[in-house]
Amino acid sequence: MAQPEDSENTNPEAVEEQQNTGVDKGQDYGAAQIDKLEGLEAVRKRPGMYIGDPDVRGLHHCVFEVLDNSIDEHLAGYCDVIKVTINVDGSVSVADDGRGIPVDIHPKFGVPAVELVLTNLHAGGKFGQGAYKYSGGLHGVGAKCVNALSDWFRAEVRRDGKVHAISFERGKTVQPLEVIGEIDTSVTGTTISFFPDATIFVDTIDFEFERLGTRLRELAFLNPGLTIELEDERPESAKQEKFFYARGIEEFVEQLGENKTLIHSDPIVLNGKRDVEVDYDGKITRDDVFVDCVFQYNDSYKEQILCFANSIPNADGGTHLTGFRGALTRAINNYAKSNKILKDKDPSLSGEDVREGIVCVISVKMPNPRFSSQTKDKLVNAEIESVVSSVVYEGLQTYFEENPALSKQIIDKAVNAARAREAARKARETVRKSVLSGGGLPGKLADCSERDPAKSEIFIVEGDSAGGSAKAGRNRINQAILPLRGKVINVEKARLHRALQNKEIQAMITAIGAGIGDGEQEGAFNIDKVRYHKVIIMTDADVDGSHIKTLLLTFFCRHMPELVQAGYLYVAQPPLYKITRKKREEYIADDAQLNRILIQLGSEDVKIRKVNSDQVIEESLLKELLELLASLRRFVSIVEGHGGSFRELLARRNGTRLPEYLVRVRTGNDEEIIYFEDEKALLSYAEDNRDLRLFGEELTEEEEKEFREKFSGALRRAVKRELHESHAIEKLLARINELGLETDPFYSDDKPIYETVEGSGDDAEVTPLFNLFEILERVLEVGRKGMRIQRFKGLGEMNAKELYNTTMDPEKRILLQVRLDEDNSLEADRMFDVLMGDVVEPRKRFIEDNALNVRNLDV
């Protein structure tokens, strides 16, 4: 190996050592090689140590770090309202009505306290000085980490009758603390605003309303009496939501179980307080720990337990989870044995058995909690295990004695779970033995020759026909094919032993090679044994294909969640269309891409001009205008799908502002659509029309009777729809105007506004257009001339070469990675319950709510 040209090492032995090991052992290592990162530089250099990876999750974790300080103010008894705002420029503000961060000069460090806590690691009021007793922020690094990772960061403090402000850029003070106004002395609080640094968060700096909303909803549940408001002021996604729950985590558990068939209607609520020894940096003192535990059983086959310490979510559980599990298992077994529900000779129920079908939230409030890392995923305080165990065990003993019938129901469910677990063990053993005796792999699997899982991928293909094309077209070195015949069992409605009897399920388990199910028993899932690091679901684009894809996703997310969490599961995106025009042949992924091609082709052959004018839309602008009109049409179709009229919407326009609400009012068989500029106008109308029952609320018999007597006629029912589309429509109309296509008038009934000219001279074909959408329709029509469009419904319609080139070739294909992490796990669980569970009503409601958004439904 030749020595690198820029090397200065001339020692032959050192050079040889470097060539053999890849390490330059001739390099100096002394005091000059030791460096120290000043201030918040360490956070910028190694953000992963403080907020996790600087991806979309890390971005939102910044908001939660700032939010934790406001929650700590609430826990201390000083904050009732928190407002989180995604500002128009993409920054985020977190405002609370707490005491306000201290602004006086620190006696030891000589700087304002607010500047100290926002710029110095491990500076804060949570180290035993008495400012916070039950805090989620412990290490004094949260807000200052956000400061370090922000392009700009601003703190505004309302305290002592004054408004103070201080500004930072990338962790460094650029505007010292100053008084910017006066305020009533009763008004206090802190507002933190920041804009993430795009050089750190290279994946994205766009905050997601839904992701923030999930966490804020949790916090409102965990802190009854606290109001949390979330608002998105960005025009393209403007919306707002308020979270307030008077009964706290009891309502949380009810919501988690709302799409399931419940064993008992009311959640079991256990709470208590214990006095424990707390270690404050070597100083032992006694303090109170509060435990709130609420759970409810349903007839599903999985457990869902969420753990929180001082309102911080602990995705990996910890000692509070261990304490709950042990107490639940012990309490149920003791009650079952003492009341002869289980015979003495019967084996004890396992923890897995007694937790089947449970939805539980455990919340502890404690001084000086300790976590396994700054991301606080796991609580490690050893003393908490016995505290939670004591509260849960004693509470359950009392509850079971007072509710014997319900107790028997819970124990009977656990007994059935134990029987099913044993059946699953036997079924798993049968599958394992059949695999070994059959050579280890299913016969229908066409395996690849590569043995490194990181380089291997398996396509799970719908049907033998598509499987045949995939086998013929694949790269045999690293692409395996497993064709499935028919639909796999819906595992959401079946226990594991039933699922293991399904031959298609068996084939997938044995092909992947990592086992199935939880626990330590032989045959349980082991991520290290996965044979392919890309498991790709490849189904047809029709209804059956979508159903099979959903069944497979349900199977993997329910019984191999570790595989999904590792990022190994993907969904292939076969093309929707094949277009042929002259000698041009192209595969199209979706309707949006097809429209772009039609627009490109049509705009080359047609000109747009204003009627009675020489004004012609330049070709360079025409494509953008047409794409804007295509986007506009999508938003308009949604509005009209809900009963609105775009023409009426434009007629109600106030300046550049479109109505923000649409209300469908029904009186008997009559229906009326009314538009409102904003919520204030809507509520004013409802106040003036007292017989109007807003938003489709259900009336009790007494209410209905009272209404009818009061208004002596049919009730007027109304369903409100917030027109978020209005903001997007306004933005599109403004841009279309900027490019020279006048949007007023948009429609004309008597004379054309624009016209298209196709060709030239006397042979030119002129088509009059009476609204702007007709421009788009005409150009698309021209683009389709001489074009053959073939829509694929099944993979089997493509030959082997086509299938590989469009769907399997790593250089050309599009794959969707399936993600399942703690930020989306609750929503994913809810959707599986709705779409695949036993309860019909939530599924019916989901279909009704989303039917108007369906595109290209093949039936």
Which positions are catalytic?
A: 462, 540, 542, 544
Is the C-alpha dihedral spanning 557, 560, 564, 568 positive or negative?
Answer: negative
CA–CA gap between residue 122 and residue 188 (Å, rounded): 25
The first and second tokens of residue 271, run together, are 């709470």
- Could you count the other beta carbons within 10 Å of the beta carbon of residue 357? 24
Looking up tokens 């404690």 gives 366
Looking up tokens 């179709």 gives 637
CB-count burial class (<10 Å; 0-12, 13-18, 19+) for 68:
buried
Closest among 110, 68, 346, 342 to 215, alpha carbons compared: 68
- Three-state DSSP class for residue 272: strand
Return phi, psi of residue 280, to 5°.
-105, 90
* Neighbouring residues of 56: CB distance < 8 A, sequence distance ≥ 6: 203, 204, 208, 211
Q: Are 92 and 61 in contact (CB under 8 A)?
A: no
Q: What is the CA radius of gyration of the chain?
A: 32
The first and second tokens of residue 472, run together, are 């013929």
Supply the angle between the helices 382-402 and 319-338 in degrees, to the nearest 10: 30
Return phi, psi of residue 784, to 5°.
-80, -15
Q: What is the DSSP letter of 804?
A: I
CA–CA gap between residue 540 and residue 461 (Å, rounded): 9
Closest among 298, 221, 220 to 258, alpha carbons compared: 298
Q: Cα–Cα distances in Å, from 815 out to 204, 211, 575?
A: 20, 23, 12
CA–CA gap between residue 855 and residue 841 (Å, rounded): 23
The first and second tokens of residue 540, run together, are 């047809």
Largest interatomic CA distance in the chain: 105
Bridge partners for 663 per DSSP:
674, 720
Looking up tokens 């036993």 gives 838
Q: Which amino acid is at 367?
A: P
Q: What angle do CA 714, 718, 722 make, to 5 degrees?
A: 175
Closest among 592, 567, 569, 589 to 578, alpha carbons compared: 589
Bridge partners for 588 per DSSP:
577
